Structure formats: C-alpha cells, structure tokens
C-alpha cells in the first residue's frame, strides 16, 4: 500500500497510524490520567477542607475563650448571658451514651458473630447477614423516633422515675444500630481463620464452643478489636438519636438515667437556631466539632494500629 506521489512516500494502509494521530492519542491518555488523578486527589482536599475550617474557626474561638477554661470548666452555657465554655459536660454526655451503646453492641454483636461463623448453617447465614446489615441502613432519625416514642415509654414501665429524655434509651437504641458493625466485621475476621486450625481443635476433642472461644477468637483478635473500635467511633459521632431522645441540655453527670446533651447534639441545637455568622456562639460549634474530630480520629488510629499489631500471619 506504500506508493510514491511526486517523490514523497505516502502510507495509505488502514492499519498504520500517522504520527500525528499517535501523538494525539498520547496527549489524550495523559490528559485522562491527570483528570483521574485529580479526582482521587480531591479526597485529600476534602480532608484539608475539614481540618482547615475547623481549625480556623476554632482559633477565632480561642481568641475569646481560654483553652484551659474550655477543657476544665464544668459548665457549658455559651448561649446564656453568663457564658461558660467548658466542653466537659458535652464530652461526658457523649461518653455515657457511647458507653451504653457499646455495652449493648459488643456482647450482642460478638455472640452473634460467633453464632453465625461457627454454628449457623450456611443458608441461614447467607440470609441473615444482609438483613442484619439493614440495621445500619435505617435512617438515624427513624432510630431517634423509635428511642423517644417506643423505647423510653417501655423503659418507663420498669423504671417509673425515668424522665422523657434520657441517655439510657438513646444509648440502647444506638447500641442496636451499631450491632452490624461489630457482628459483620468480627464474623469476617473469624471466617478468615483457616479451617485446618479449627480441625486441629476438633481433632483434640474440643466442642464448637471451646474451639470458638479458645482457638478462633484469639486468632481473629485483630479484626475483632478493629470492629469494636469502629463501633466506638460510630457511637461517638452519632447525632440524631441523641439529639432527639437524650434531650439537649448540657448536664455534667455520669448517670445514664438523666437527660444530657452530647457534642453532636449541641451542634444540631445551635444549627437549628440562627446565630449570626462570626459570633462566639457560632464559633462554639466548630470548637465542639474539632473536639469530636480529634476523639474519633484517635479511635480510628487506635483501630488501625490494633489491626496491624495483632494481625496473625498463617
């Protein structure tokens, strides 16, 4: 197909590309690659945005309020005329609700995971796992409704002096909500333990329970602890359930039977009103948000560390 026109060689074969076309293709490929990279890199920009906004607004806040007062004052009344800016009551509320939730989710989730991984027949497991995961798909505001108007009245039948808003019912419902985080991840960790280790245990005459508790669980510890930490961090960051069912007054108490506000509930409360942009009241939610971010980040790093540190290698 190569012919000569007035002394220059021209290639007319359909399979060969002109240099120009190849060049064009390379440019396009490079262009695509850059575009895709920017998309991936945008997630880093989101993090920079989050940290930047929180730190910037918090710095404005700490110009008005001493950081020592913020961390040690036991009253949180930023919207009163006698304003106190102590984050402790909010942290306290967050910790109490989280603790109640984890107290539900960790035992129930772990036992469920052991049951699904070591006991349940294959078909039951395949059916139950997605259904159980629906628990974490239900909108949190629906859980809030459930806690306030179903669980609290139910608890009041047993504990008549329980107030309408309380941390107990919010924590309990939140606990059920995070069961799938514990059970799914723990079960994955247990199923990753090789079969021959179980078979060794059975061959020694151990029952399923003994095998699960003494052989499988220690081997799956890294994955299970990561699941627990994830559940913790979910419960700390959960907003709507506590905002609806636990009341919104900051209350420096460790008693789950009392109403209290959490860090997240406070942010919701302020956002519902309209504080002017730039006021100290407006900046408090960023300081509270920064505190929340630091706490959850600490938990996430702990989870990452646990997963790495205790990973069993077969």
Footprint on residues 31-50 left by other proteins (CB under 8 A): 32-33, 35-37, 39-44, 46-47, 49-50
Using the minimum distance from each CB to other proteins, give the nearer residue, 234 or 251: 234
Please tell me whether residue 80 adopts helix, strand or coil conformation: coil
Using the minimum distance from each CB to other proteins, give the nearer residue, 117 or 219: 117
- From 77, 281, 296, 310, residue interacting with other proteins (rule: CB under 8 A): 296
Q: Is 149 in the site for other proteins (CB under 8 A)?
A: yes
Footprint on residues 47-86 left by other proteins (CB under 8 A): 47, 49-50, 53-54, 56-57
Nearest Cα to Cα of residue 76 among 63, 92, 64:
92
Find the part of the chain contacting other proteins (CB under 8 A) among 62-70, 75-83, 175-183, 218-226: 175-183
Q: Which residues pair with 5 in a beta bridge?
A: 8
Helix, strand, coil percentages for the chain (3-state, nearest 5): 70, 5, 25
Please tell me whether residue 10 adopts helix, strand or coil conformation: strand
Q: Is 159 in the site for other proteins (CB under 8 A)?
A: no
Using the minimum distance from each CB to other proteins, give the nearer residue, 72 or 207: 207
Say how many C-beta atoms besides its own lie within 10 A of residue 63's C-beta: 10
Residue 108 corresponds to which tokens in the numbers above? 């129930």
Footprint on residues 231-270 left by other proteins (CB under 8 A): 233, 236-240, 243-244, 264, 267-268
Q: How far is CA 30 from CA 21, 43, 157, in A?
A: 14, 21, 68
Find the part of the chain contacting other proteins (CB under 8 A) among 65-73, 74-82, 148-156, 196-204: 148-156
Nearest Cα to Cα of residue 215 among 202, 224, 228, 226:
202
């Amino acid at each position: 197909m190569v012919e000569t026109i007035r002394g220059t060689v021209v290639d007319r074969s359909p399979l060969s590309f002109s240099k120009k076309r190849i060049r064009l293709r390379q440019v396009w490929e490079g262009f695509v690659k850059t575009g895709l990279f920017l998309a991936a890199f945008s997630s880093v920009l989101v993090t920079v945005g989050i940290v930047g906004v929180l730190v910037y607004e918090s710095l404005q806040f700490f110009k008005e309020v001493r950081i020592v007062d913020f961390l040690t004052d036991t009253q949180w009344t930023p919207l009163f005329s006698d304003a106190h800016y102590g984050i402790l009551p909010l942290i306290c509320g967050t910790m109490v609700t989280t603790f109640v939730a984890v107290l539900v989710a960790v035992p129930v989730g772990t036992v469920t995971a052991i049951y699904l991984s070591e006991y349940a027949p294959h078909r039951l497991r395949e059916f139950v796992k997605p259904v159980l995961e629906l628990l974490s798909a239900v909108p949190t505001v629906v859980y809030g409704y459930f806690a306030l108007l179903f669980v609290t009245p139910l608890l009041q039948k047993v504990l008549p002096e329980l107030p309408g808003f309380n941390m107990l019912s919010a924590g309990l419902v939140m606990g059920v909500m995070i069961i799938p985080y514990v059970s799914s991840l723990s079960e994955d960790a247990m199923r990753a333990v090789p079969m021959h280790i179980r078979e060794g245990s059975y061959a020694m005459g151990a029952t399923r329970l003994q095998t699960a508790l003494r052989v499988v669980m220690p081997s799956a510890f890294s994955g299970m602890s990561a699941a627990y930490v994830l559940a913790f961090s979910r419960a700390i960051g959960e907003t709507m359930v506590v905002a609806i069912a636990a009341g919104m007054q900051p209350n420096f108490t460790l008693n789950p039977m009392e109403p209290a506000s959490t860090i997240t509930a406070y942010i919701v409360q302020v956002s519902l009103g309209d504080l002017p942009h730039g006021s100290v009241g407006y900046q408090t939610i960023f300081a509270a948000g920064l505190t929340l971010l630091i706490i959850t980040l600490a938990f996430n790093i702990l989870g990452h560390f646990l997963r790495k540190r205790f990973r069993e290698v077969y």
